[in-house]
């Protein structure tokens, strides 16, 4: 397979100033006429041909400077034009007519049809499925777009920028002309056409300009758009306040679509979203859905500056926009929590996600630096490493430079690079220059894969009243190249003493090993290090259970307080122990502390995920881990019966539903209490869950009660599931929840039962193999979210996985490739799992029709 290498980047031979598109939309045969104003590029040499990318297109005609042109070659992926006027040394125009077939496009890249409407997805390389083009992010041009369609079927015609005019034509067709004043790369192009309606708001931004905001959906969903609109308005004002960044267009539109490969897309002025991240109402969306909508709306809006105004030079630099924008959306959501403890809760959630998903990626066969050096299929590199670890790297700049220093760096970045396509070094240099500091060593975070381990050794000299800590960094075990470079690692720390007299400080670990000495420490302190998870590392610190209990009950850094509890639970589960009296007592005190945020209590009593526990083992026995974790949970449930019952009452939220963080936190703790009560005494508490299921006025409570019943295998679960389906059959996003709850149910009696349930669900009338949300809610939920049922001794879970990857690959390679990642960590498992997984991987590898997407993932896993 062809692979692309970062160091082989060449500036373009040709570039574009202006693009005119005339698109006649027809599901069976869309005619695309383009007129490109071409200029010699930075790397131009006289006589070079113009090579345009094109995929799955029917070529019709080519004109150069208005004349028919015949000196060209077509391959399945390119159109190469020879004999250019003036050897290509002066500007010339290229006019191309081609045809694509949106209704046959199941990959959901390029132009496609969803529920009768047209949508596009062009990042990373989808524009070439619409027309022949210089489809690379460092070629930026101004776009003018004429959309044509039959008015009765497609009354709404949208594209990027400003609407110049509309016209009704005699034959029942109509047109709309859109112009985007900002030069952009092709990956930010978008069009939408169909039967849609919108809610609108007009706001005034910091310069006093009026801006029109619209959210477009199918008419029956209009009532579910308020939260997305509020989130958009909050994001716009937050970016003005925090970074001085104003919305630059007169109009900003969001459109929701039910068939979408990812979460959302930041096309200039015309964001396209998966319905999952737009539509919400108390009755149909959970608190998690509300929070996700807020953060995805913010993320895409923030891209308008970090991604669109300043974009990536090439796709290796993807983290330049994604890591930075994730960091910005994390900070926004933290601020929206409304309190310091809310900020900490958000941080814990973000770190939990990073460690559950990114750490395994960084330790597996697809490990790559946040700026990869090589890829075969760019779609495979929209990863948790590029996004989440990328955000951690950006966060470290802020930790090292302070908020003000970080802001200075951002200001300089925009001053230098507005309107350009740049690299990660450009961002680093803006941070360094704005703060007059040397960030040379910090660069290593961009180039090395794997999670570094930092070991900590402490000593206390009671006679001298002196405390010493020695910190050593170890390169990640899986980094192949021998000359690994040392990282610049910021470690926030504080010594906890009974007097509380020690301040927080920041240790900057730049050498392999460094020792810090602290004088005047009256009593042996307890070390709190990597506070707020100041660096994305694994900490190897053999802290006693007594010290961990101290941190768990009294660390003033909420993240480390949570972390100590997780570490205690993790160690005990992996040793096959149950929680001892001291830990139960610490849990009890924490649960009953009236000063603590309920959301924090919920996180503190939620055990580390099975897949995170796997990462701590050399040879994983998934069934053993499942049993040990479940027994540990049952013990907490039983020992704290009284407390759970009392919290279940205390955490009720009377009055109308409010999705704010404080109310959501109370619901989270209440529902944890309910599931713990069912875990302890299912027969006694199932009726309470049924009662909550029936009487809930919101989806969070209804779904939580249903989940508690399903997880326990309660006899009432079947009737409640039937009721749920009947009630919400017309709401695809709610039906996705119904599917995913059943597919991710852990084994009740035996794991095989879940797989046969999943096969039954696949035969259900509402199952669709070509809808990514539905596929993710059944197949991905089972294979990637239900480890105890998936990892069966007879290999049937893996056989199902292989069969599903192959079936999906023929429909949508991107969705198939995500699923293909499900066996990445096969080498980490004990026998017989390991051999059975290998056999399943080999079965997929043998297929002769694999997409480039799936092939890359499978061959790397086997490699
Ligand atoms: N920048 C967007 C990436 C994206 C995407 C990539 C490949 C295929 C489909 C896709 N849809 C969206 C999303 C984001 O990070 O904001
Ligand atoms: Zn993004």
Tell me the domain boundaries of the chain.
Answer: 4-195, 729-863
Round to whole Å and give the CA distance between 392 and 369. 13
As a whole number of angstroms, the longest Cα–Cα distance in the chain is 96
Round to whole Å and give the CA distance between 143 and 154. 22
Mean pLDDT estimate for the chain: 97
| For residue 12, pLDDT beyond 90 | yes
* Lookup: tokens for 711: 């997880």
Cα of 663 from ligand 2 centre, angstroms: 28
Round to whole Å and give the CA distance between 463 and 446. 45
* Residue that the structure tokens 């009452």 belong to: 649
| For residue 558, pLDDT beyond 70 | yes
Interval 508-518: pLDDT, tens: 999 999 999 99
pLDDT of residue 754: 86
| For residue 752, pLDDT beyond 70 | no
Closest ligand (CA of 187):
1
pLDDT of residue 484: 87
Round to whole Å and give the CA distance between 2 and 17. 30
Round to whole Å and give the CA distance between 701 and 584. 27
Interval 788-822: pLDDT, tens: 999 999 999 999 999 999 999 999 999 999 999 99
Closest ligand (CA of 323):
2
| Phi, psi angle pair for 521, to nearest 5° | -105, 105
Of 274-288, 296-310, 687-701, 747-761, the one with minimum mean pLDDT is 747-761
Spatial CA neighbour of 447 closest among 487, 489, 406: 487
* Lookup: tokens for 54: 């094109």
Distance of CA 578 to the CA centre of its chain: 34
pLDDT of residue 748: 81
Cα of 300 from ligand 2 centre, angstroms: 6
Round to whole Å and give the CA distance between 316 and 128. 19
Conformation bin of residue 46: beta by default, left when phi > 0, alpha when psi is -120 to 50: beta
Q: Whose CA is nearest to atom 1 of ligand 1?
A: 265
* Residue that the structure tokens 């939990």 belong to: 352
**Integer Rg of the chain from CA:** 28
Round to whole Å and give the CA distance between 119 and 193. 7
Give the model's confidence band at 750: pLDDT under 50 very low, under 70 low, under 90 confident, else very high. low
Burial 79-91 (b: 16+ CB within 10 A, else e): bebeebeeebeee
Closest ligand 1 atom number to CA of residue 262: 11
- Cβ neighbors of 481 (< 8 A, separation 6 or more) are none
Residues identified as active-site: 300
Spatial CA neighbour of 262 closest among 310, 222, 296: 296
Cα of 346 from ligand 1 centre, angstroms: 23
Round to whole Å and give the CA distance between 175 and 24. 9
Q: Whose CA is nearest to atom 4 of ligand 1?
A: 265
Closest ligand 1 atom number to CA of residue 307: 1
Round to whole Å and give the CA distance between 136 and 568. 49
Closest ligand 1 atom number to CA of residue 814: 8
Burial 175-196 (b: 16+ CB within 10 A, else e): bbbbbbebbbbbbbbbbbbbeb
Q: Which residues have CB under 6 Å of ligand 1?
A: 121, 123-124, 261-262, 264-266, 299-300, 303, 322, 379, 382, 814
* Lookup: tokens for 509: 């670990």
Cα of 99 from ligand 1 centre, angstroms: 25
Round to whole Å and give the CA distance between 276 and 296. 10
- Cβ neighbors of 469 (< 8 A, separation 6 or more) are 456, 457, 458, 493, 515, 516, 518, 527, 529
Interval 697-725: pLDDT, tens: 999 999 999 999 999 999 999 999 999 99
Closest ligand 1 atom number to CA of residue 326: 15
Q: Whose CA is nearest to atom 5 of ligand 1?
A: 123
Mutate which of 119, 126, 262 for ligand 1? The one with the most ligand atoms within 8 Å of its CB, which is: 262
| For residue 753, pLDDT beyond 80 | no
- Cβ neighbors of 26 (< 8 A, separation 6 or more) are 149
Q: Whose CA is nearest to atom 11 of ligand 1?
A: 262
Q: Compute the 3-state secondary structure of the chain and give helix, strand, coil in percent, each to the nearest 5.
A: 45, 20, 30
Interval 304-319: pLDDT, tens: 999 999 999 999 999 9
Round to whole Å and give the CA distance between 556 and 155. 58
**Concatenated DSSP letters of 63-113:** EETTEE---EEE-SSEEEE-S-GGGGTS-EEEEEEEEE-GGG--S-SEEEE
- Angle at which helices 661-680 and 641-650 pack, to 10 degrees? 140
Closest ligand (CA of 321):
2
CATH of domain 4-195: 2.60.40.1730
Round to whole Å and give the CA distance between 135 and 122. 9
Give the model's confidence band at 482: pLDDT under 50 very low, under 70 low, under 90 confident, else very high. low
- Cβ neighbors of 763 (< 8 A, separation 6 or more) are none
Q: Which helix (H) or strand (E) holds 856?
A: helix 852-862
Cα of 355 from ligand 2 centre, angstroms: 20
Closest ligand (CA of 110):
1
Q: Which helix (H) or strand (E) holds 631?
A: helix 622-639
Mean pLDDT to the nearest integer, 580-601: 98
Q: Whose CA is nearest to atom 15 of ligand 1?
A: 322
Mean pLDDT to the nearest integer, 483-491: 94
Mutate which of 265, 277, 304 for ligand 1? The one with the most ligand atoms within 8 Å of its CB, which is: 265
Q: Whose CA is nearest to atom 2 of ligand 1?
A: 265
Long-range contacts (CB closer than 8 Å, 24 or more residues apart) made by 412-420: 413/310, 414/245, 414/305, 414/309, 414/310, 417/310, 418/309, 418/310, 419/140, 419/182, 419/183, 419/309, 419/310, 420/310, 420/311
Spatial CA neighbour of 137 closest among 152, 150, 126: 126
| For residue 480, pLDDT beyond 70 | no
Closest ligand (CA of 377):
1
Are 744 and 736 a contacting pair, CB within 8 Å? Answer: no
Closest ligand 1 atom number to CA of residue 322: 15
Cβ atoms within 10 Å of 482's Cβ, excluding its own:
6
What's the CATH number of domain 729-863, 3.40.50.1400, 3.40.50.2300, 3.40.50.11890, 1.25.50.10? 1.25.50.10
Strand order in the sheet with 251-257: 197-204, 210-217, 251-257, 270-274, 264-265
Report in angstroms the alpha-carbon separations of 476 from 102, 255, 316, 615: 45, 42, 22, 14
| For residue 728, pLDDT beyond 80 | yes
Q: Whose CA is nearest to atom 10 of ligand 1?
A: 262
Mean pLDDT to the nearest integer, 209-238: 98
Cα of 264 from ligand 1 centre, angstroms: 6
Question: Around ion ligand 2, which residues have CB less than 5 A away?
Answer: 322, 325
| For residue 224, pLDDT beyond 70 | yes
| For residue 249, pLDDT beyond 90 | yes
Closest ligand 1 atom number to CA of residue 261: 9
Cα of 190 from ligand 1 centre, angstroms: 13
Spatial CA neighbour of 354 closest among 387, 316, 317: 387
Cα of 635 from ligand 1 centre, angstroms: 43
For the question of whether the overall pTM of this predicted structure is more than 0.80, the answer is yes
Mean pLDDT to the nearest integer, 619-628: 97
Mean pLDDT to the nearest integer, 34-59: 98
Cα of 501 from ligand 1 centre, angstroms: 48
* Lookup: tokens for 673: 């209490």
Percent of the chain with pLDDT over 70: 99
Q: Whose CA is nearest to atom 3 of ligand 1?
A: 265
């Amino acid at each position: 397979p062809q692979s692309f290498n970062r160091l082989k980047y060449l500036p373009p031979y040709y570039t574009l100033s202006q693009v005119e598109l005339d698109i006649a939309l027809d599901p069976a045969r869309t005619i695309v006429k383009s007129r490109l104003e071409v200029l010699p590029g930075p790397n131009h040499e006289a006589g070079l041909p113009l090579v345009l990318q094109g995929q799955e297109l029917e070529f019709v005609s080519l004109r150069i400077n208005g004349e028919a042109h015949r000196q060209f070659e077509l391959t399945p992926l390119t159109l190469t034009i020879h004999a250019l006027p003036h050897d290509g040394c002066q500007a010339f125009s290229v006019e191309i007519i081609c045809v694509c077939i949106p209704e046959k496009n199941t990959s959901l890249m390029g132009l496609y049809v969803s529920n009768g409407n047209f949508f596009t997805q062009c990042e990373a390389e989808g524009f070439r499925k619409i027309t022949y083009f210089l489809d690379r992010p460092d070629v930026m041009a101004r776009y003018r777009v004429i959309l044509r369609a039959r008015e009765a079927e497609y009354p709404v015609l949208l594209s990027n920028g400003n609407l110049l005019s509309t016209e009704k034509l005699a034959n029942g067709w109509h047109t709309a002309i859109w112009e985007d004043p900002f030069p952009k790369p092709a990956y930010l192009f978008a069009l939408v056409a169909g039967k849609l309606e919108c809610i609108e708001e007009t706001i005034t931004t910091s310069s006093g300009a009026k801006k029109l905001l619209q959210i477009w959906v199918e008419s029956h969903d209009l009532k579910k758009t308020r939260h997305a609109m509020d989130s958009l308005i909050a994001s716009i004002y937050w970016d003005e306040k925090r970074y001085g960044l104003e919305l630059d267009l007169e109009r900003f539109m969001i459109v929701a679509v039910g068939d979408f490969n990812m979460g959302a897309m930041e096309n200039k002025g015309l964001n396209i979203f998966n319905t999952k991240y737009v539509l919400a109402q108390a009755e149909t969306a959970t608190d998690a859905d509300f929070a996700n909508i807020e953060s995805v709306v913010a993320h895409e809006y923030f891209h308008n500056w970090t991604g669109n105004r300043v974009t990536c030079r090439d796709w290796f630099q993807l983290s330049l926009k994604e890591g930075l924008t994730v960091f910005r959306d994390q900070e926004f959501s933290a601020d929206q929590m409304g309190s310091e403890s809310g900020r900490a809760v958000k941080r814990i959630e973000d770190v939990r996600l990073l460690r559950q998903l990114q750490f395994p990626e960084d330790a597996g066969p697809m490990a790559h630096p946040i700026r990869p050096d090589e890829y075969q299929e760019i779609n495979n590199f929209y990863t948790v490493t590029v996004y989440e670890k990328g955000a951690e790297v950006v966060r470290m700049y802020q930790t090292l430079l302070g908020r003000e220093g970080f802001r200075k760096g951002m200001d300089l970045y925009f001053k230098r690079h507005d309107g350009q396509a740049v690299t990660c070094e450009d961002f680093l240099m803006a941070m360094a220059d704005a703060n007059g500091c040397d960030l040379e060593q910090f660069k290593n975070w961009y180039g090395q894969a794997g999670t570094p381990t930092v070991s900590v050794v402490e000593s206390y000299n009671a006679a001298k009243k002196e405390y010493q800590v020695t910190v050593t960094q170890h390169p990640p075990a899986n980094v192949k190249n021998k000359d690994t470079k040392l990282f610049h690692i910021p470690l926030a720390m504080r010594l906890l003493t009974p007097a509380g007299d020690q301040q927080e400080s920041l240790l900057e670990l730049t050498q392999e090993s460094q020792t810090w000495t602290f004088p005047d420490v009256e009593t042996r302190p307890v070390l709190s290090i990597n506070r707020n998870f100041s660096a994305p590392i694994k900490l190897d610190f053999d802290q006693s259970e007594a010290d961990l209990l101290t941190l768990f009950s009294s660390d003033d850094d909420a993240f480390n307080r949570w972390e100590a509890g997780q570490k205690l639970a993790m160690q005990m589960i992996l040793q096959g122990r149950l929680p001892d009296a001291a830990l139960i007592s610490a849990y009890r005190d924490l649960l009953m502390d009236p000063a603590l945020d309920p959301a924090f209590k919920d996180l503190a009593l939620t055990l580390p995920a099975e897949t995170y526990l796997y990462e701590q083992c050399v040879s994983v026995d998934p069934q053993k881990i499942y049993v040990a974790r479940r027994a540990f949970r049952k013990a907490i449930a039983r020992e704290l019966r009284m407390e759970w019952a009392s919290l279940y009452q205390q955490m009720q939220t009377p009055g109308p539903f409010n999705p704010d963080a404080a109310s959501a936190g109370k619901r989270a703790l209440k529902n944890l209490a309910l599931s713990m009560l069912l875990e302890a005494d299912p027969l006694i508490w199932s009726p309470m869950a049924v009662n909550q299921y029936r009487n809930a006025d919101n989806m969070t409570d209804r779904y939580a009660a249903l989940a508690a019943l399903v997880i326990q295998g309660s006899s009432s679960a079947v009737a409640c599931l039937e009721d749920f389906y009947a009630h919400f059959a017309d709401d695809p996003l709610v039906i996705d929840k119904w599917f995913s709850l059943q597919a991710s149910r852990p084994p009740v009696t035996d794991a095989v039962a879940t797989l046969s349930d999943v096969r039954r669900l696949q035969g259900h009338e509402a199952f669709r193999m070509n809808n990514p949300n539905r596929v993710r809610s059944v197949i991905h939920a089972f294979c990637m979210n239900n480890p105890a049922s998936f990892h069966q001794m007879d290999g049937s879970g893996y056989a199902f996985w292989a069969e599903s990857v192959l079936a999906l690959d023929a429909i949508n390679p991107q969705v198939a490739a995500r699923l293909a990642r499900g066996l990445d960590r096969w080498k980490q498992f004990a026998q017989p799992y390991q051999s059975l997984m290998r056999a399943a991987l080999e079965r997929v590898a043998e297929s002769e029709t694999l997409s480039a997407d799936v092939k890359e993932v499978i061959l790397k896993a086997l490699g």
